[in-house]
Homo-oligomer: A and B are copies of this chain.
Amino acid sequence: MRLSERLRRAVDAADSLLCVGLDPQPERTPPTEIVGFNRAVIEAAGEFVCAFKPQSAFYEAAGAAGWEALGRTIELIRELAPHAVVVLDAKRGDIAHTARAYAAAAFEQFGADAVTASPYLGGDSLAPFLERPEHGAFVLCRTSNPGSGDFQSLSVQGADGAEPLYERVARQAAEWAAEHHNNVGLVVGATYPGELARVRMLCPTLPILLPGIGAQGGDLEAALAAGLDAQGRGLLVSASRSVIYAGGAAEIAAEAARLRGAINTLRERSGDARAC
């Protein structure tokens, strides 16, 4: 199944745009406990999410045992929440020959559906992630961190005048999506709703992975108003620490349900606004 269709069905199955980041923090979850910890989160939050997003760094920091845990975690998602899309948050970016090995790691070794990737090396570096319609990449566009403006906001000169680099990346990503299998998304931080609105205008149909809700402090209402597409979809609203460390299974489920509900309320409101 094409990634775009897989994502559409996942949103329908859980009636949710929520994506939960499976980011076991080394200081809170020792390597030997990662799989059990993730199992509890997947069981508790699975029905409330359209996607899970394991962050590669937190598995790598646990060495080979962490790598094993990442593989096992993705298997558990398939078993316990088979509707959910798996985005491996790896932000890879390398020359094509090497990117092919990264794609093999993400899609064959780990069985993820999509990865996050960096645009800095250009189109040929991303192509290995986009060759198969059932897989794809979310390309970094405007990230949620304070230093994201160092380069992403620089004004670049193009054929049609000046624009910030992140907008150029967004427009380029839309071209890549058309050249491949509509399997390109963007990563735009919830902490910058103004920029998110610009990206949504430039890319009306691209899925946008939206980190920065929760621990990073982004405003959910402003971000959804800026980022939802014309169907009240098109976002993967990503929360991690605020969900996975909410407490026991009941608290994790409650927090995931609360976020799904808050997002759906805002989706309905934006649908009403469009209907006016």
Asked if B120 and A147 make an inter-chain contact with CB atoms under 8 angstroms apart, the answer reads no
A interface size (C-beta, 8 A): 59
CB nearest neighbor in B for A96: B145
Is A105 in contact with chain B by the CB < 8 A criterion?
Answer: yes
For A168, list chain B residues within 8 Å (CB).
Answer: 151, 154
Asked if B169 and A57 make an inter-chain contact with CB atoms under 8 angstroms apart, the answer reads no
Is A131 in contact with chain B by the CB < 8 A criterion?
Answer: no
Is A262 in contact with chain B by the CB < 8 A criterion?
Answer: no
For A201, list chain B residues within 8 Å (CB).
Answer: none
Report the stretch among A12-20, A62-70, A231-239 that lies at the interface. A62-70
Asked if B150 and A123 make an inter-chain contact with CB atoms under 8 angstroms apart, the answer reads yes
Q: How far is the CB of A257 from chain B (nearest CB, A)?
A: 26
For A165, list chain B residues within 8 Å (CB).
Answer: 151, 154, 156, 165
Is A256 in contact with chain B by the CB < 8 A criterion?
Answer: no
Q: How far is the CB of A168 from chain B (nearest CB, A)?
A: 7
For A123, list chain B residues within 8 Å (CB).
Answer: 147, 150
Q: How far is the CB of A176 from chain B (nearest CB, A)?
A: 10
Asked if A104 and B61 make an inter-chain contact with CB atoms under 8 angstroms apart, the answer reads yes
Asked if B94 and A57 make an inter-chain contact with CB atoms under 8 angstroms apart, the answer reads yes
For A65, list chain B residues within 8 Å (CB).
Answer: 64
| Given A91-B93, A95-B144, A120:B122 Cβ within 8 A | no
Is A55 in contact with chain B by the CB < 8 A criterion?
Answer: yes
Q: How far is the CB of A106 from chain B (nearest CB, A)?
A: 8
| Residue contacts A-B, CB under 8 angstroms, 27 given | A26-B101, A57-B94, A57-B105, A58-B98, A60-B102, A60-B109, A61-B104, A62-B109, A64-B64, A64-B65, A64-B67, A64-B71, A93-B118, A93-B140, A95-B144, A96-B147, A118-B120, A120-B140, A120-B151, A121-B145, A121-B147, A122-B150, A123-B147, A151-B165, A154-B165, A156-B165, A157-B162
Given contacts A60-B67, A120-B152, A122-B151, 13 further A-B contacts (CB under 8 A): A23-B98, A61-B109, A63-B110, A93-B118, A120-B140, A122-B145, A123-B150, A125-B145, A151-B168, A151-B169, A151-B172, A155-B156, A156-B157
7 closest A-B pairs (Cβ-Cβ)? A122-B147, A122-B150, A124-B147, A57-B101, A60-B105, A95-B145, A154-B156
